[in-house]
Amino acid sequence: MTPYRIEIRVVPRRGILDPQGKAVADALHALGFADVTDARVGRHVVLDVRAADAGAARARAAEMCDRLLANPVTEDYVIESAEPAAA
Amino acid sequence: MRVAIVTFPGSNCDYDAYHAVADELGERAHYVWHKDRDLGGADVVVLPGGFSYGDYLRCGAIARFSPVMDAVAEHARRGAPVLAICNGFQIACEAGLLPGALLRNASLRYVCEFRTLRVETVDSAFTAEYAPGQLVRIPIAHGEGRYVADDATLDRLESEGRVAFRYVDERGAPGDDGNPNGSLRHIAGILNEGRNVLGMMPHPERAVDARLGSADGLPLFRSLLAAVGA
């Protein structure tokens, strides 16, 4: 088993009102960043796991997202990376 | 009637529920710690409001894995009533006892005030003692109460008469004026398919004494009493 570091991005699903993202967009506009047309705020999860290989690490991460880390009704997730980590 | 009130770390409306059942109704209530696995022969289970596990990750997301939740799910599977209020509603959605999810209020503000609700169905163990379409004044107190589900789920809830309560304005009309959190279709409370699990963001247990503003929550507890027949 090899240690892997997995990075996961969870974001509110498009089409579902994200008032936090809207507040951030409004604040950016207030600061003069008029080029911002949309903002969505999610979370970034970093996991250290042990797995046989990167594929197995990703499969486990997907299972964790489905069961806990993301709400299937309102959020989408992307497993951004699964890299061997320093032990 | 024997009512089990589940206490999670961070529950803060468990005593209000106890007061409603024991003091106002004169029925038996007992607390069940979230690590217990036995509901003590309860006829009814209450998942109370609060901030279980500090609302970490998402409201209710961690509480659903508490040991007691297996017993609660089994209680619901048997068709026995589960009343899930506020944080309890969030937990019930995360646990899959009810469809949909509760997200941050559209205003991003925590809202604590009396609201007018319309009773949308009297065909349940929780609402039989209300009149169809009755307007009730019940307080809300939440920051994450915006009910969201996909259109197919919402259509199904509507067509099966499973919307139990809807936010309305003071004249009884649903609309943005009466909606405190941006809930889709102004939904304040829903029933599961078996009509024995009710999730609602407003607090009926805080509306059980007219001297404190409203007794409009009492018929809900009386409905349960009539339904369990004990």
The answer to whether B198 touches B82, Cβ cutoff 8 Å, is: yes
Query: What pLDDT, on the 0 to 100 scale, is given for residue B229?
Result: 84
Query: What pLDDT, on the 0 to 100 scale, is given for residue B230?
Result: 63
Find the CB nearest A73 among B104, B107, B149: B149
Give catalytic status of residue B186 as yes or no: no
Higher-scoring residue by pLDDT: B6, A14 = B6
Query: What pLDDT, on the 0 to 100 scale, is given for residue A87?
Result: 58
Domain count of the fold of chain B: 1
Distance CA B99, CA B93 (A): 6
Taking CB atoms and an 8 Å limit, are A71 and B61 in contact across chains?
yes
CATH number, position B31: 3.40.50.880
Antiparallel, parallel or unpaired: β B197-200 and B187-191: antiparallel
Backbone angles phi, psi at A20, to 5 degrees: -65, -45
Edge-to-edge order in the sheet of strand B135-142: B28-33, B2-7, B44-47, B82-85, B197-200, B187-191, B163-167, B111-119, B135-142
CATH number, position A25: 3.30.1280.10
Domain of residue B140, residue span: 2-228
Q: With bands split at pLDDT 50, 70 and 90, how would you rate the model's confidence at B88? A: very high
Give catalytic status of residue B30 as yes or no: no
Domain of residue A44, residue span: 2-84
Domain count of the fold of chain A: 1
Alpha helices (H) along chain B:
14-18, 68-77, 87-94, 151-159, 218-228
- The overall average pLDDT reported for chain B is 97
Distance CA B24, CA B22 (A): 6
Per-residue pLDDT tens for B167-180? 999 999 999 999 99
Per-residue pLDDT tens for A19-76? 999 999 999 999 999 999 999 999 999 999 999 999 999 999 999 999 999 999 999 9
pLDDT higher than 70, residue B224: yes
Per-residue pLDDT tens for A8-18? 999 999 989 99
Query: Global pTM?
Result: 0.94
Residue of B nearest to A24 (CA): B108
Half-sphere exposure of A1 (CA within 13 A, CB side): 7
Note the ipTM here. Answer: 0.85
The answer to whether A10 touches A77, Cβ cutoff 8 Å, is: yes
Per-residue pLDDT tens for B53-72? 999 999 999 999 999 999 99
Of A17, A20, A22, A44, which to mutate for an interface test with B (greatest number of B Cβ within 10 Å)? A17
Side chain identity at residue A19, one-letter code: P
Taking CB atoms and an 8 Å limit, are B149 and A69 in contact across chains?
no
Chain A residues near residue B92 by CB distance under 8 angstroms: none
Per-residue pLDDT tens for B106-115? 999 999 999 9
Structure tokens at A6: 């997995």
Residue of B nearest to A68 (CA): B61
Taking CB atoms and an 8 Å limit, are A68 and B57 in contact across chains?
yes
Q: With bands split at pLDDT 50, 70 and 90, how would you rate the model's confidence at B43? A: very high
- SS3 for A54-80 is HHHHHHHHHHHHHHHHCCCCCEEEEEE
Give catalytic status of residue B113 as yes or no: no
Antiparallel, parallel or unpaired: β B101-103 and B146-148: antiparallel
Distance CA B21, CA B43 (A): 12
Q: Give Rg (Cα) of chain B.
A: 16
Query: What pLDDT, on the 0 to 100 scale, is given for residue B123?
Result: 97
